[in-house]
Amino acid sequence: MSATQPPVLHGLARVRQLWTLWRNEREDPAPFYTVLAREAVADLERRYGSLEGKVVADLGCGPGFYTRAFRAAGATVLPVDNSQAELELAGEPPEGAILADAGNLPFDDASVDGVFCSALLEHTPNTPDVIREIERILKPDGWGYLSWTNWYSPWGGHDMTPYQYLGPQRGPRLYVRRHGPPRKNPYGDGLWAVHVGPTIRLVRERPGLEIERIEPRYWPRLAFITKVPVLREVATWNCVIRVRRAGRARSG
């Protein structure tokens, strides 16, 4: 097995593996995201059946780690990102990549079976528009997977961590004053404060979306954390909201 194809593990071994791979993510992102992508495929097929022949929109696809995994499972994938640099992060962009804003997608209403939106919400200033677009493009009974690193989690500030704990205004200003601009995703230009509670409320406000489950991505068995205000903003680390499209598709 190659260095970029580590085994998918379970339980505590999985937590240790993800922690080890995540610590090297900046220098070598492929192993970490390859494992997450294979986990995502297995998880979604376990919940919704085979991806074979399904149309999946991969929002914020970046260099295409998830796109490749979904295509290997037989899905027709629409890889979307608003940054050419992100698409080319690992070489050639994913085949068929679409340069577009996830808050204004060039897709018809009710045109996809699933939407995979991983590590996007914290990198867009228009979270409500992204959620509204997910509702619009999903077919009735289609699934949506939203995952993001919430602001007050241990990695919420990304390169500015732990300054995010001083708040989204004071924290980034102090970081820049002491350390200079971050390597990537300065606050307000690539990174925004996205919190668990308000994002759950945004999803619940969409009449065509039904929340199936909310959980911490890396320790999903501790889903109760997401029900506890304040605690969930810190302990979740990366929050997952799973939705289904209910009723008849609607726009706007």
Paired sense of beta strands 98-99 and 112-118, if any: unpaired
- On the 0-12 / 13-18 / 19+ scale of CB atoms within 10 A, 71 is buried
Q: Which fold, 11-150+194-245?
A: Rossmann fold (3.40.50)
Q: What is the pLDDT along the chain (252 residues), one digit of tens a residue?
A: 344 455 666 666 666 666 565 566 666 566 667 778 888 999 999 999 999 999 999 999 999 999 999 999 999 999 999 998 889 877 789 999 999 999 999 999 999 999 999 999 999 999 999 999 999 999 999 999 999 999 999 999 999 999 999 999 999 999 999 999 998 899 999 999 999 999 999 999 999 999 999 999 989 999 999 999 999 999 999 999 999 999 754 444
DSSP secondary structure string for all residues of 88-151 = TTTSSPPTT-EE--TTS-S--TT-EEEEEEES-GGG-S-HHHHHHHHHHHEEEEEEEEEEE--T
DSSP secondary structure string for all residues of 149-191 = --TTSTTTTGGGTTGGGG-TTHHHHHHHHHH-S-SS--BTTTB
What's this model's pTM, rounded to 2 decimal places?
A: 0.88
In 3D space, the residue among 58, 60, 47, 68 whose CA is nearest the CA of residue 4 turns out to be: 68
Find where tokens 């991806």 sit: 51
Range list for CATH 3.40.50.150 in the chain:
11-150+194-245
Is the CB of residue 79 less than 8 Å from the CB of residue 72?
no
